[in-house]
Every structure is written in C-alpha cells, then in structure tokens.
C-alpha cells in the first residue's frame, strides 16, 4: 500500500503532472473570465442584441473550425517529434508551413464568406441583423488566426505557461475593453469586434519569444 502511495506521489510531482496542473488552472481561470464576459454582455445588450451577438459568435467559432482543418493537431504532433530529435530547422519549417497554410485557407474562406455572408446570416442562421457583424468577422478573422497559431506553437513546444498566459490575457483584455466601452461609450454595441481584436493584441507581446525560439 505504501509503495503504491509513493508511486502516486512521485507521479504527481513529475514535470508532466505539473504542466497538467498549470494548464488546468489556467484554462479554468480563462474559462471563468469568459463566462463572466457572457453574463456582462447579456445584461448590457439585452435579449435581442445579445441574440445577434450570439449568432455572430457562433459564426466566428464555425470559421475557426474551418480554418483549422487539423493543422493545430498536426503542428503539435510534428513539432513534438522534432523536439525529441533536436531538429530545430524542421521545427521552423513546420511553423512556417502551418502559419502560411492557415493564412491562405483563412483568406479563401474570407473571400467566399464575403460573397455568401448575407445568405449565411439570413438563411442559415435566420438572423439578418447579424449580417454586419458577420461581415466584420470575415474581414478581421486573420487576427484570430495569428493568435491561435502562436498559442498552439507554445503548446507544441511544451511552453504551457506562455500558452496559458496568452489565453488568460486575451480574456482579461476582452473584459477590460468591454468595461471601458460600457463606461465611456455605452452606445457601442458591436462587441464581437473586441473578440477579434483582443486575442491579436494579447499575442503581440509573445511574438518576440517565438521569433527568438524559431530563428
């Protein structure tokens, strides 16, 4: 019994376990902030306007899935294998390939989306009032792609602290910006814009670390 207990304690003290704790706590904190954001938005927007926001947010999540196409999983897998072999040049090529591929795919989705945004908003979501917000999502979607690639790159290199900090800082920035708009520009209602800009801005301070790590 004591030997099993010692094994459990030793496993709980490994680097993998500590990374697991870090990711769990960080994601839980970021998720809690995200929940608070939704509660605040539902209160300040009201049922009808929050409904429009929800449709645009759903469209945003749908685009994020289409733009991924398994690249995130592939980057984590391939970079992890390259790290084990200390193949720094290969890691650089993987990052550049995924980054460029996701940009190209996002641009293609954006072009198609601009032509079909009215159909998607009116027919697919049955929410014509969300057309403007959905068009804005298409135009600024690359901002989110930039944030997403950087965060996943940190995960692939087992830099979980940076990845978690990016997630938390993005949601904190959303919260701060929403409160600022609420206090100083209460007529502003297009809050989906904040969900596009905040992750990009929060990722910028981490970019030098990635450039240093890759190049």
pTM: 0.84
Cα–Cα distance, 199 to 168 (Å, whole number) = 10
| 163-196 pLDDT, tens digit each | 888 999 999 999 999 989 888 887 887 888 888 8
| 118-171 pLDDT, tens digit each | 887 887 777 787 888 888 888 888 888 889 888 888 888 878 888 888 999 999
Cβ(163)–Cβ(154) under 8 Å? Answer: yes
Q: How many helices (H) and strands (E) does the chain have?
A: 8, 0
- In percent, the amount of the chain with pLDDT more than 70 equals 90
- pLDDT score, position 12: 47
**String of DSSP letters for 67-127:** HHTTHHHHHHHHHHHHHHTT-HHHHHHHHHHHHHHHHHHHHHHHHHHHHHHHHIIIIIS--
Residues written for the chain: 215
**Tokens standing for residue 64:** 């994020």
């Amino acid at each position: 019994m004591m030997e099993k207990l010692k094994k459990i304690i030793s496993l709980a003290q490994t680097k993998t376990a500590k990374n697991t704790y870090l990711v769990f706590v960080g994601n839980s904190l970021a998720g809690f902030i995200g929940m608070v954001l939704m509660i605040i938005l539902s209160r300040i927007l009201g049922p009808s306007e929050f409904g429009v926001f929800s449709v645009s947010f759903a469209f945003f999540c749908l685009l994020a899935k289409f733009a991924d196409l398994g690249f995130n999983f592939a980057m984590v897998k391939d970079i992890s294998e390259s790290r084990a072999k200390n193949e720094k040049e290969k890691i650089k090529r993987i990052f550049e390939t995924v980054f460029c591929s996701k940009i190209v795919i996002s641009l293609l989705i954006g072009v198609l989306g601009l032509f079909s945004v009215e159909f998607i908003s009116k027919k697919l979501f049955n929410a014509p009032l969300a057309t403007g917000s959905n068009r804005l999502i298409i135009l600024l979607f690359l901002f989110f792609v930039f944030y997403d690639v950087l965060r996943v790159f940190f995960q692939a290199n087992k830099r979980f602290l940076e990845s978690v900090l990016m997630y938390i800082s993005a949601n904190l920035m959303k919260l701060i910006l929403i409160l600022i708009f609420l206090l100083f520009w209460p007529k502003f209602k297009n809050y989906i814009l904040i969900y596009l800009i905040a992750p990009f801005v929060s990722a910028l301070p981490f970019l030098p670390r990635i450039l240093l790590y890759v190049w």
